[in-house]
């Protein structure tokens, strides 16, 4: 029986989800009775990290959209089986930096692959497992790209180099998915000061996990 929970952190590039996750991890580790694991996609385990390398390499400009989608799905499958499922079986809490909704937003809405194909492939890769709760850190594409350009410590990946148009479609895509599943999604205004974003996220998490 899987008694653990998955909480995913989603949003356009530059929205700050990774920073929020990293600052809330120690807080949750103190308060949650089981173990709290933080992981990311694409990646999280060796095979998936190798796939990540292929997908995000800035030299791979000729990568076809469907190849890209399939690689994300392959990385997701391996990550799920090798790392996420065993934690869920132990009753632990898994916090993921990006999961199924990134494929819908980027490869579906962003690249123009049919949403039903992306949904089907996500379902195939995860055996239908979905997060129990998903945060969408929402930010305008202009502000997101501005933050990426200012952050010199961040590695620039192939998707960061996409044009503003694609980033705008990704943002709108995320907002549409969130509307379709209002019970799973919590939308956070990521244009606020970081400490407010963290506070708001923490309050929702504590309420959801009954901490």
Interacting residues toward ligand TYD by CB under 6 A: 13, 18, 41-42, 56, 72, 97-98, 102-103, 106-107, 157, 159
Q: Is the peptide bond preceding residue 23 cis, with omega within 30 degrees of 0?
A: no
In terms of CB distance, is 71 or 93 closer to ligand TYD? 71
Task: Quickly count: other Cβ atoms within 10 Å of residue 3's Cβ.
Answer: 10
Q: For the chain, count helices (H), then strands (E).
A: 9, 5
CB of 49 to ligand TYD, least distance (A): 11
Quote the least distance from Cβ 144 to ligand TYD, whole Å.
9
CB of 182 to ligand TYD, least distance (A): 22
Residue 13 or 138: which CB sits closer to ligand TYD?
Answer: 13
| Residue facing ligand TYD at closest CB distance | 106
Query: Minimum distance between the CB of residue 104 and ligand TYD, rounded to whole angstroms?
Result: 8
Q: How far is the CB of 190 from ligand TYD (least distance, A)?
A: 12
Residue closer to ligand TYD, measured from CB, 20 or 159: 159
Cβ neighbours of residue 155 under 8 Å, at least 6 residues apart? none
Rounded Cα distance, 187 and 122, in Å: 22
Give the residue among 93, 81, 86, 100 at the shortest CA–CA distance from 25.
93
- Cβ neighbors of 175 (< 8 A, separation 6 or more) are 136, 138, 187
Nearer to ligand TYD, 34 or 112 (CB): 112
| Nearer residue to ligand TYD within complex by CB, 147 or 209 | 147
For residue 68, give the nearest of 55, 59, 51 by alpha carbon. 55
């Amino acid at each position: 029986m899987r008694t653990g929970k998955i909480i995913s952190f989603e949003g356009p590039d530059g929205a700050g989800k990774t920073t929020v996750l990293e600052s809330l991890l120690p807080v949750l580790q103190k308060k949650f009775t089981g173990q709290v694991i933080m992981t990311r996609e694409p990646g999280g385990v060796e095979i998936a990290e190798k796939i990540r390398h292929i997908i995000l390499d800035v030299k791979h400009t000729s990568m076809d959209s469907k190849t890209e989608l399939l690689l994300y799905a392959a990385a997701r499958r391996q990550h799920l089986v090798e790392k996420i499922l065993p934690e869920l079986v132990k009753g632990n809490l898994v916090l993921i930096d990006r999961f199924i909704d990134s494929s819908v937003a980027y490869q579906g809405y962003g690249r123009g692959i049919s949403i039903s194909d992306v949904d089907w492939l996500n379902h195939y890769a995860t055996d239908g497992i979905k997060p129990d709760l998903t945060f969408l850190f929402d930010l305008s594409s202009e502000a997101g790209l501005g933050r990426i350009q200012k952050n010199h410590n961040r590695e620039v990946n192939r998707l960061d180099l996409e044009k503003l148009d694609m980033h705008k479609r990704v943002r709108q895509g995320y907002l549409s998915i969130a509307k379709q599943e209002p019970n799973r999604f919590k939308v956070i205004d990521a244009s606020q000061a970081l400490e407010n974003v963290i506070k708001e996220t923490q309050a929702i998490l504590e309420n959801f996990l009954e901490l």
